[in-house]
Structure formats: C-alpha cells, structure tokens
Chains A and B, each alone.
Chain A
Amino acid sequence: MTAIDQNAGAPTVARRRQPNPVLAFIRFQPLGAAGLLVILIMAAAAIFADVIAPYDPEAIDFMAMLTAPSWEHPFGTDAFGRDIMTRIIYGARTALTIGFVSSFVGCSLGAIIGVSSAYFGGRVDLTIQRFIDILLSYPIIVLALVVVAVVGRQPIAGIDINLILAIAIPIIPRVARVVRSAALAIRAMPYVDAARAGGYSDAHIIFRHLLPNVLAPYLIMLTAYVAQAILLEASLSFLGLGVSEPKPAWGLMLSGDSSNFYQEAPWMIIFPGVAISLTVFAFNLFGDSLRDWLDPKFKT
C-alpha cells in the first residue's frame, strides 16, 4: 500500500482537456521537446533544402577545394569544392526519408508479426520464433548487405526502395521479438479474454486490443530504429552500397575522399558526423518522451 494505492482508491477528478497539447508536452517532457525541436529543424532543412542551401549540392568548384570553414563556406568544402553545409542540408533529406520510411516499415511489420505470434501461440508461435532466430543470427549490417546483394543497387522508380528494404528487413525480427514478449503479457489480460468471449475475429482482436497496447515498445523502437536506420544508411553509403555519388548523403560524406583528406581537412568528417549523432540522439530523446506521453495513465 503506497501512494499509488492512495490514488487508485480515490475517485478520479473529472478529466480536464489539456488546453494546448504542444505547450503541455514542452512543459512535462522538456528533453523530448528538445529532441523534437532538433528533428523539426532537420525536417525543415530537408523540406526547404532548395531555399535554404547556399549552393548547389552537386556543383563542383575547383577553385574552392578543401577550404576551411569561413563566412563563404561555414562548414568548409570537400575535395571537389562542394559546399559541405549544402550537402548536409540535402543529406538530411536522404537520411530522414530513408531512416523514417525503413524504420516505419520494419517496425510495423515486426509489430504485426510479433503480436500475431503471441496471439496465436502454440505451433504458429514456435515456427515464427525459430525463423526469427535464424534472422537474428546475422548481424544487422550483414543482413542488410545480403538484401542489397539480392535486390540490387539501382533505385526502383527513382526511390531507394532497395535501400529501404535492406534496412527494414533486419529490423523486422528484432522488433518482432520485443513486441512478442510485450504482447504475451497483454494476451493474458482479461480484456483480451473478454474480446474472445465477444466472438470478434482474430484480426479485430489483434488490431484493436493487442496492437494499441504494445504501442509503447513500438514507439520506442520506431524512434530508436529511425536512428539506427540513419546510421545503417550512412554505413551502407560509406561502403558504397547505399546512396551513390553524387547524391548527398551523410554516410557517403564520411567515405571516399574524406578518408584521404581528413587529417588536413577535418571539417569534412566532423560536420556530417555531428549531423548523424545529433539526429540519432534527438530521435532517442523524443522516443522516450513520446512513450510516456502516449500512455493514458500519465495524463491528467
């Protein structure tokens, strides 16, 4: 019997609608709000890249090769004289789209598989879980490489679907495993029994009663894997298997010529590196706060 019990026993105050959810979020989740701010800035940069960026990301300027940061080139230039700030701004576009889309695809499929596995149980569960075991036995980057090898490197219809698949597929088993364990607990809840006693279809029960209740781990993983996916995209690009030159991508900016010149021109790797870390960190902060925020028990 603690303070929690005290609250449970007392009648709840009538629900007050938060006047402004944005202000409330900033007030109660300051760290998450900071993360969100960074994400929003990145997103704005990605959307308005054409307006904001001072140069053309692919414009080569042999007169300004490897110049140090200056008023003209705040983040310096690379070996082709391309403006690094411009390329980081355009790189946000690549990073955020591929990062978000592949994380969303991977986590959503993983969640559905994990919840179904827990809901049906028995042999279905056993089969799915052993298959997941196999996928989990490959490191994430190796599995991504295999997918790239199978799907090929060329963008399909102008979109990097191959890259998205390569990043999403390794995410699926990881999310499925975590969501399954959360769903197993939900599966045993009386309200799921009540739904079964109500005679609803399996899909209805999974989508209405199980999935919303594994939202917390799902959202955490969604945001964490956006970060992971951005890293993975960067790694694949670094290895020359992701986005290909001359398209601007953060990972790509770390590879190639940067490895030859980073001692003389450290800005070539510092700024893309900071962009990657900052984005990853921002997504993690935001993810944690979002989970708390979306839990109805934390409200009022």
Chain B
Amino acid sequence: MSSATLLEPTHTQTAPTAPLISVEDLRVEFSTGRGVVKAVDGVNWSVQPGETMALVGESGCGKSVSALAVMRLLAKPAGRVAGGRIMFEGRDLLTLPESEMRELRGRDISMIFQEPMTSLNPTLTIGLQIMEPLKIHLGMSDEQATARAIELLGLVGIPDAERRLGQYPHQFSGGMRQRVMIAIGLACNPKLIIADEPTTALDVTIQAQILELMKDLSRRLGITLVIITHNLGIVARYADRVAVMYAGRVVEEGPADQVFGAPRHPYTIGLMRSVPRLDRPREYKLATIEGLPPNLLAPPSGCRFAARCPFRIEKCAIDPPYHYAGDGQRSACHRAEELAQGLAEQTAAVVAGTVGQATTEPLLVVRGLTKHFEVRGRGLMGTKGTVRAVENVSFSIEKGRTLGLVGESGCGKTTIGRTILRLEEATGGEVRFEGEDLVTASRARMKALRTKIQVIFQDPYSSLNPRMLVGDIIAEPLIFRRGIKKREARERVAELLVQSGLYADMADRYPHQLSGGQRQRVGIARALAMEPSFIVCDEPVSALDVSIQGQIINLLDELQERLGLTYLFIAHDLAVVRHISHRIVVMYLGRVMEMADRDELYAAPLHPYTQALLDAAPVPDPAMERARQPRALTGELPSPLAPPSGCVFHTRCPMASAECRQTVPEVREIRPGHFAACIKI
C-alpha cells in the first residue's frame, strides 16, 4: 500500500466470492429531545468487490445513516450503533479500535459527500487537501504527493492540474469541486468508495459528467462503489445492485435489472410509478403513494409500509419476513409472489388523453424582457461588472395553461419569475398581464394587481414564516388584502386547507410541525387565498421526496382544472416539466434556446442544448439506460459575468463552428409554433 499507482487495479473483478463489505442487522439510534429515533432498524446489505451498489430511499429512511455507520462517523453523542455487525474484509468495523479505524478511513474506504460547496475547506488550497491523505496514510513525501495529486486531477478530468493545485475551492465551480472531492476519495486507491448523493447539488449536464466519471473510474480501477441516492434514474444508469430502504429498513434488494423489471415490494412499485418519466407517454395523472412515512420515534408494528400500501391485507400487521427470488432478490412483503405475478398491474394509473387544446387569448405576454444585475468587485475601487441574468426573453402564456421554464442553475429562469412578480425591477422589456404592462405599473396599481398574480416557492422550509401559525399564514391574504372579517376568514382557511389536501385542524400548527410536502401545500393554500388567476411556481417540487412530488404535481394539475389557473412552472427537471406543462421554454445563460409545445419539444427537440439536456437526464430503466449511449455535454457553465460571444452555448455545443462565435442567433420559428435559437437548424 506504500506507493499506489493509478491504472493498476488493486483487485480485479473476479467471480464474486466473499462480499467486500457486508452490513448485518445494523441498528442505529439517535436520542432526541422527544425520544429515541431508530433511524436504522435491522438493516442488511452487502456488496461484492468491484460492484456498484445503490441505496435508494426517501429522506429519513436511514440510507445515509447506515453509510455513516460504516465510516463510524455518526454524530456523537446523539447517534449510536445499537447492534449489528459491519464486516469489511473479514473484520468487524464496529469493534475496531479508533486508531485502526482512522487508518482505514480514507485509505481503504473513502466517502464523497453531497455538498461540494461545503465539504472542502475554503482556507486550504486544493493541492494541500488532495495531498493530505497521501501524506498521512501512505507516508508520501511532498514531491511524491504533488506528483500523485497532479496525476489524480488529470484522472478526474481537471485540466491544467499543476496550476490548479495552488488554487482555493472558491476558484472552482460546483462540478469541478465534486471532481476534486472524487480525486481526494481516490487518492489512496481505496477498495470502497461511499458516495452520499454525489450529484444532487449539481446541474443535469454536470451530474451526467460526474456520474460518467465515477462509473468509468470504478470500472478501470476496480473500486467498489456504494451510491446513496433518491434518484431512480441514477440507480438505473449506474448500479449493479439496488437496496430500497423505507423507514429504517431494507424493503427490497436485488440486481438492478430485477428490481426495476420485476419489483416485488409495493413501495418499490410506488416509487417507480410516482416519478414522471421521459421515456413513457405522459400520463394524465401521476400515480402517488398516499400518506407519509411513519414516525421513527414510534414505528408501527408489522409492515411499516402497510399504512400507505394499496395492497394491504390483514397479514400485514405481522412483520413480513424476506421472500427470496432468484439472483439474490429479496423483498419484505407478504404478497411478494403475487406482486411478481402482476398483482400491481390492475392498479396502474390511467393513461388518459391530453388536456384541452383550445387556445384562448394570452393572459401573460413577456416581450424582450431583460434583467441585468450590477455587481461590484472587491474594494472601494472594485471593477464593476454586469450579470446579464435575463437577455431579451419573449413568450406568452394562454389562460388556463401552463408554461414550463427549464434550464440549469444560472440560466435566469428564477429571475424571470421574480421580475414578473416585480420582486425585481426589469432592466428592459415588458410584461403584459391582461394587457397591462407590469414593468411600468405604478406601485399602487401593482399592489392591486398582486392579488391576481401569486407565487409558490421552492423551499417549503423557508417559504413560510416560522413564527406564524399555519392558519394565520393562510388568513393573512384574506384579512389584509381581501377585507374578509376574521371569523369568516377562519372558515375560508379551513376550506383552503382541505382544498390543498390538508386537514382543517392543521391551522393551529406551526410550519415546523408539518412535513415538507404538507408545508408546500400550505404555500399553495396561501397563494390560492388571494384567488389569483396566475401563479408563478418556482421549482415547487424540487425540494420534495419522490413520492411527495407526485402528490403536489397532481394537486397543481387538479387546481388548474378546477379553478382555471394559469401557471408559469419553473423547474430544472425535464420530466416534471413535461408532465405539467402545455408549452415549454428552454433557457441557457439568460437566453431562450428553444420554445415549443410539450409533445413537439420532447419528441423532436431541435436545439443541441435541449437535446443534450434530454440526453443527460437518466431514465429509471436499466435496460434502456444500458442501450443508449449518453453523450454528456463537456465543459462548464460559463460565468454569466462574461458570457461567451455570439451564441452563448457555443462553448459546449457539439455542433459549434466559427460562425457561432460571432453571430447571436435569433429565436426563429422553425416549424409552426416551434421556435429555436440556433443558426445550424
């Protein structure tokens, strides 16, 4: 282990004999002010050498906790391992003395965390941080470590490695930082890498790059990979095996093909159905898993999923044992056999026709909208710069329909929403709402119009005032804007809560006493209280768990139908946008790239950026994922402070030519109703 070389696998992929790591009957508890939370309750999983295993589940299911337990990094003193074994190469990690464990960490097992922004130390150079494990674990000298660090940066695809070693984390983009994290993880040639949501904080095209890199490296170097994720698409694309966790337990485990192809647990089936999918015809309504996961302070006896399960029978009051099928697939469900024989088919969601296509007059017309932010450099005489957040954007939304606005972070989609709401003042252009220009409307006029235009925010945790009761939050618009008396407002609040899928008595709770999905429903109820005709939905589901996402999307759909609402739906998830929108605008770096009706856009995308986006999004179907050759976009998002000349996409475009560097492409109507900004089409 003293001098590891890179391209020489330390252990080759031979026939699986003994697992590299096996977690046996692991129990982890956290003591909280309210009691003991059994976060992981009797979990088993194992990974063969060289395999990629995915732990899937929603937040709070115990997937990260079980991984942290492997590293013995549980937050002390609240968290403790209450039982079980973690066997790694024949040794039980839980009984190792701390000094031996410390040697193991980073050398044999390394971990990659979710947040590349905070998992690097901002005060140390990248080079020092990569060299640290090399010097500590492998006892390398400075020269050796530097050479190896350069090699590692090259390996993870960071060009100009020598110069970049001396740079600090803030000089790297999010994707680049995650590459650095991977380089640190790889530094000592570990046998096992645990990646906890490694790409959740990244954009789709960057996510594809990072995952491709990890997959490639694990194959080339024979590293065993455990990926923790909530994204089923990622599992399908990269994992050999899957363990689905629910409420502190593994409910189903098996080879990815089997679990995806013939799931044998209702939760797995529900999870897969509730994700809107790019590879299937759009369903009228998303299937959802009703209800919420159980409280792990007092988990129910018997099957923990029973309360939400559509296939519940009396026997479910008894804890289900694992039912084994071929290829090591197992599931904890009494009806596993029936499910395998197609029990779930009868409840499959209805594939229905499209929503009414009757075109009406536009409710909102955006023309040439431009928003620049002035930024100051450091110091008194700092150079001034202009961020062109939104540049000459035009679109219109018809009454009762939804316009989806998609793009990666920094593309200006949120700024457009905020400018329409006049939370930001536009630099130029106009926003006509029912014929009236919002950009130039007076303060008083705007105040009057605000009841008609409402907003739903992304983060259900910070979009509700934590000091107000839910009832007061929803009553505020009623009392202060619509002049409804307090007593009547109370009744109306109850109606709104029920309409948004909550219970009337939740009015007496504080936001923090609700779950994420419930909070988002409160946010929706608050917006509806104004009786608006138009709602800006700014990433309303991206902070929610998969099974909850579907519930909220369905609610928005239903409300649109019932109340004739018009939505501007801002999101980065192409599948979600496809599900809910009638027309879609794709943005990149402040500009419109493509605009078309939903079906047209997904069936025949014209712009190379749209094509790349669709390509980068993983689909939850392992067979399909293996069949296609994802062409990941190369390069990084350019800085909006200094956008590229000509077409802003030319730096990453596979079709770019010299001409693209000069001419700014106009948004042209290429087919009827289908617009794109590219000179090559």
Q: Which of B49-65 contact A (CB under 8 A)?
A: 58-65
What chain A residues lie within 8 Å of B64 (beta carbons)? 1, 5
For B73, the closest partner residue in chain A by CB is A2
B586 at the interface (CB under 8 A from A): no
Q: Interface size for chain B: under 10, 10 to 19, 20 to 34, or 35 or more residues? A: 35 or more
B491 at the interface (CB under 8 A from A): no
What chain A residues lie within 8 Å of B423 (beta carbons)? 193, 196-197
| A191 touching B463 in the complex, CB below 8 Å, given contacts A1-B64, A3-B30, A196-B423 | yes
Selected contact of B465 from candidates A11, A15, A212, CB within 8 Å: A212
| A6 touching B293 in the complex, CB below 8 Å, given contacts A12-B513, A198-B476 | no
Q: How distant is the Cα of A198 from the Cα of B466 in the complex, in angstroms? A: 17
B252 at the interface (CB under 8 A from A): no
Q: What distance in Å separates the Cβ of B12 from its nearest Cβ neighbour in chain A? A: 33
For B538, the closest partner residue in chain A by CB is A190
Q: What distance in Å separates the Cβ of A80 from its nearest Cβ neighbour in chain B? A: 52
A297 at the interface (CB under 8 A from B): yes
Q: How distant is the Cα of A7 from the Cα of B65 in the complex, in angstroms? A: 13
What chain A residues lie within 8 Å of B468 (beta carbons)? 208, 212
Q: Interface size for chain A: under 10, 10 to 19, 20 to 34, or 35 or more residues? A: 20 to 34
Q: How distant is the Cα of A266 from the Cα of B463 in the complex, in angstroms? A: 59
What chain B residues lie within 8 Å of A12 (beta carbons)? 295, 509, 512-515
A300 at the interface (CB under 8 A from B): yes
Selected contact of B60 from candidates A5, A13, A213, A300, CB within 8 Å: A5
CB <8 Å contact, A2 and B60: no
Q: Is the interface of B mostly helix, strand, loop or mixed?
A: loop
What chain A residues lie within 8 Å of B37 (beta carbons)? 3, 6-7, 10
A209 at the interface (CB under 8 A from B): yes
Selected contact of A6 from candidates B65, B292, B453, CB within 8 Å: B65
Q: What distance in Å separates the Cβ of A152 from its nearest Cβ neighbour in chain B? A: 41
Q: What distance in Å separates the Cβ of A192 from its nearest Cβ neighbour in chain B? A: 8
| A9 touching B60 in the complex, CB below 8 Å, given contacts A2-B75, A213-B465, A300-B513 | yes
A204 at the interface (CB under 8 A from B): yes
Q: How distant is the Cα of A13 from the Cα of B590 in the complex, in angstroms? A: 44
CB <8 Å contact, B59 and A5: yes
Pick from A195, A199, A200, A204 the residue with the most CB of B within 10 Å.
A199
CB <8 Å contact, B297 and A10: yes
CB <8 Å contact, B462 and A199: no
Q: How distant is the Cα of A150 from the Cα of B421 in the complex, in angstroms? A: 49
Q: Is the interface of A mostly helix, strand, loop or mixed?
A: helix
What chain B residues lie within 8 Å of A213 (beta carbons)? 465-467
A-B contacts, 25 listed (Cβ < 8 Å)? A1-B63, A2-B75, A8-B59, A8-B516, A9-B60, A9-B516, A10-B37, A10-B60, A10-B295, A12-B512, A12-B513, A12-B515, A13-B295, A190-B462, A191-B465, A193-B455, A194-B457, A196-B423, A197-B423, A197-B453, A198-B481, A199-B448, A199-B451, A200-B481, A296-B512
What chain B residues lie within 8 Å of A11 (beta carbons)? 292-295, 515
For A191, the closest partner residue in chain B by CB is B465
Q: Which of A216-252 contact B (CB under 8 A)?
A: none
For B455, the closest partner residue in chain A by CB is A197
Selected contact of A199 from candidates B30, B450, B465, CB within 8 Å: B450
A215 at the interface (CB under 8 A from B): yes
CB <8 Å contact, B453 and A13: no
Q: Which of B70-87 contact A (CB under 8 A)?
A: 75, 78-79
**Beyond A1-B65, A13-B34, A15-B508, 15 extra complex contacts between A and B, CB < 8 Å:** A1-B114, A3-B30, A3-B75, A9-B59, A10-B294, A12-B515, A15-B510, A189-B462, A195-B465, A198-B450, A199-B447, A199-B449, A208-B476, A212-B468, A297-B512
CB <8 Å contact, B32 and A7: yes
Q: What distance in Å separates the Cβ of A72 from its nearest Cβ neighbour in chain B? A: 52
| A6 touching B30 in the complex, CB below 8 Å, given contacts A191-B462, A194-B526 | yes
CB <8 Å contact, A3 and B32: yes
Taking beta carbons and an 8 Å cutoff, which residues of B are in contact with A?
30, 32, 34, 37, 39, 58-65, 68, 75, 78-79, 114, 196, 292-297, 418, 421, 423, 446-451, 453-455, 457-459, 462-468, 476-477, 480-481, 508-510, 512-516, 523, 526, 530, 545
Q: What distance in Å separates the Cβ of A9 from its nearest Cβ neighbour in chain B? A: 2
What chain A residues lie within 8 Å of B34 (beta carbons)? 7, 13, 300
CB <8 Å contact, A296 and B466: yes
Q: What distance in Å separates the Cβ of B35 from its nearest Cβ neighbour in chain A? A: 9
| A15 touching B509 in the complex, CB below 8 Å, given contacts A9-B61, A199-B446, A213-B465 | yes
CB <8 Å contact, A9 and B466: no
A1-40 CB mask vs B (1 if < 8 Å, else 0) is: 1110111111111010000000000000000000000000
What chain A residues lie within 8 Å of B516 (beta carbons)? 8-9
Q: What distance in Å separates the Cβ of B327 from its nearest Cβ neighbour in chain A? A: 30
CB <8 Å contact, A215 and B447: no
Closest 9 interchain pairs by CB?
A9-B60, A1-B64, A199-B450, A190-B463, A3-B30, A190-B457, A9-B59, A212-B467, A199-B447
CB <8 Å contact, B446 and A8: no
For A199, the closest partner residue in chain B by CB is B450
Q: What distance in Å separates the Cβ of A171 from its nearest Cβ neighbour in chain B? A: 24
What chain A residues lie within 8 Å of B512 (beta carbons)? 12, 296-297
Q: How distant is the Cα of A115 from the Cα of B514 in the complex, in angstroms? A: 28
What chain B residues lie within 8 Å of A191 (beta carbons)? 462-465
Q: What distance in Å separates the Cβ of B591 from its nearest Cβ neighbour in chain A? A: 25
What chain B residues lie within 8 Å of A297 (beta carbons)? 466, 512
Q: How distant is the Cα of A8 from the Cα of B512 in the complex, in angstroms? A: 8
Q: What distance in Å separates the Cβ of B456 from its nearest Cβ neighbour in chain A? A: 9
For A12, the closest partner residue in chain B by CB is B513
What chain A residues lie within 8 Å of B476 (beta carbons)? 195, 198, 200, 208
Q: How distant is the Cα of A300 from the Cα of B33 in the complex, in angstroms? A: 8
What chain B residues lie within 8 Å of A208 (beta carbons)? 465, 468, 476
For B472, the closest partner residue in chain A by CB is A208
Q: What distance in Å separates the Cβ of A8 from its nearest Cβ neighbour in chain B? A: 7
Q: What distance in Å separates the Cβ of A197 from its nearest Cβ neighbour in chain B? A: 5
Selected contact of B513 from candidates A3, A15, A194, A212, CB within 8 Å: A15
Selected contact of A200 from candidates B68, B454, B480, B514, CB within 8 Å: B480
CB <8 Å contact, A10 and B79: no
What chain B residues lie within 8 Å of A10 (beta carbons)? 37, 60, 293-297, 515
